[in-house]
Amino acid sequence: MSIEQKINYQLNKFPVVKKVVKRAYQWSMYAVSPKIKSEGNIVRVSPNDGKEYFFGYYDKSPWDASGRYMLCMQADNTWSDVSPKQPAKIILIDTENGNKTKCVAETRTWNVQMGCMAQWLGPDFSSRIIYNDFRNGRYVSVILTIATGEEQVILFPVYTVSKDGQLALSLDFSRLYRLRPGYGYYNVPEETANEKLPDKPCIWKIDLRNGEVTPLLKYTDFASFEPRGEMRGAEHKVNHIMLSPSGNRFMVLHRWFQGQRKYTRLVTCNVDGSEMYNLSDDDMVSHCYWKNNSEILAFENKKGTGSGYYLMKDKTKEYEQFWIGIDYDGHPSYSPDESKVVIDRYPDRARIAAVMVSNADNRDRDKVKTVAKVFAPFKYDNDTRCDLHPRWSRDGKIICFDSVFEGHRGLYVVKVN
C-alpha cells in the first residue's frame, strides 16, 4: 500500500477533513505536474454542443447487436448534483450516419454515475431497450420498442438484467441515495431511513415477461449470514448487483458502517435466494465482473497480499492475483470472447485518468497497455466526478468510455488491436 493509500485509509474516518486535504493535495500536485489534455487514438461519438453526454456503468454495452447504434444519456447539468432533479434524455447515436442523434425517451430518475440503467434488452439486443423512470409517484422500469415507441411499464426499477431479457434484480434505490447519493435515486422518500438493520427486503427479483416482482432477500439475511463482530450495531446496505452470464446466479456487495468505518464483502447467490456464498470478506471489495459463470474478477483486499485485482472461483476459496503492482482501483471487464480485459484508473496526482487493456492470460503489469489518457477537470470531482467506466463493443474491437477532458461529459471510443 502506497503512502497516499495509507493516508486515504486513515482519513476515511473524517470525510470532511478528507475532502479538504484531498483537494489541497490535488491542486499542489497538479501545479507541478506535466499538463496533457488527452493521449491515444480517441474519437468523440457524442455531439460537441455543450450538453452533457454519458452512458453509465461499466457492466453494460452501449452498442446494439449490429454495432451501428449506441445508447447514451443527454443532460444539461451533471456537475452540481449527483442525482439531478431535471429530466434527462435517452439518445440513440447512429454511428453509420455521421453520429446523428435521436431522442427516444426521457427519464425523471437518474444519477451521474449509473444514469437510469438504460441498456439494450436481450436476447436480440436490437429492437428494445429498458430504462428506469419515475411515474405516478413510484419508481418503474420501461421496456421500449424502438421502432414503434410501444412501452411496457414494469412497476419496479431494475438494477441488473439477464442476457435473455426475461429476468432482472433490483434493490432499494432510495436507501442507496441516502448512503451513496451518486448511485441512488432521490424521488421516493426512504422507508428505512431510521433503521440501521431493517428486517425488510433489500433485493427483489423481477419477471420482465409479466412484471411480477418477488422479494428475494432481506438486510437481516445478510447480517445473519456468517456474521462478524463489526456488524453489531452497524448500518447495512447492499449495492452493485450483477447477474452471471447464464442468469442463474448473482453477486452483490454487502456493506456495513460502524461510524465512518466501512466494511465490504462480496456475496454470491442463486437467483432464487439459495446457496449464498461469502466469496471475499477481507474488509474491502470494490468493482467486480463475471468472467464467466464460475469466475469473478474484482479489485479488492486480501489479507497478506493487500489490494489489487484478483480472479476468484465462485463457491470456493481459490483465487489468483493479477498484475502485481497495480494496486489502484478501477472498473474491470472482459471482452465478449474473454480474450482481453479492460481496466481504468481514477485521476492520478496530475489529474490524468487512463484506460488500459491486457490479454486475459497476462499476469505481468508491464504488459498491460495504456490505450487512452484523459485529463479530469476539477469541475467534476468527488460525487459528481466522471468515471471512465470503459465498456466493450459486442465484437470486442472497440472500447467506449465517458470523459470530461473537453470540458463537458462526452462519449468516446478507442479501437483495440
Predicted local confidence at residue 269, as pLDDT: 98
Tell me: pLDDT of 388 over 80.
yes
Question: pLDDT, tens digit, for every residue of 90-131?
Answer: 999 999 999 999 999 999 999 999 999 999 999 999 999 999
7/46 same-domain check: no
Question: pLDDT, tens digit, for every residue of 32-88?
Answer: 666 789 999 999 999 999 999 999 999 999 999 999 999 999 999 999 999 999 999
134/19 same-domain check: no
**154 is in which domain, residue-wise?**
40-415
State the amino acid at position 282 in one-letter form: D
135/206 same-domain check: yes
Instruction: Confirm if 309 and 321 have CB atoms less than 8 A apart.
Output: yes
61/20 same-domain check: no
C-alpha–C-alpha distance, residues 339 and 361, integer Å = 8
199/340 same-domain check: yes
Question: pLDDT, tens digit, for every residue of 219-277?
Answer: 999 999 999 999 999 999 999 999 999 999 999 999 999 988 999 999 999 999 999 99
151/12 same-domain check: no
**CB contact set of 38 (below 8 Å; sequence gap of 6+):** 372, 373, 374, 375, 403, 405
213/297 same-domain check: yes
27/55 same-domain check: no
126/228 same-domain check: yes
Q: Taking the alpha carbons of 70, 75, 81, 86 in that order, is the dihedral positive or negative?
A: negative
When pLDDT is averaged across residues 162-175 and rounded to a whole number, the result is: 98
What's the pLDDT band for 294 if we cut at 50, 70, 90?
very high
Nearest to 277 by CA among 247, 306, 249, 302: 249
21/96 same-domain check: no
Instruction: Confirm if 110 and 85 have CB atoms less than 8 A apart.
Output: no
What's the pLDDT band for 14 if we cut at 50, 70, 90?
low
Domain count for the chain: 2
Tell me: pLDDT of 210 over 80.
yes
Residue 59, domain CATH: 2.130.10.10
Tell me: pLDDT of 1 over 60.
no
21/46 same-domain check: no
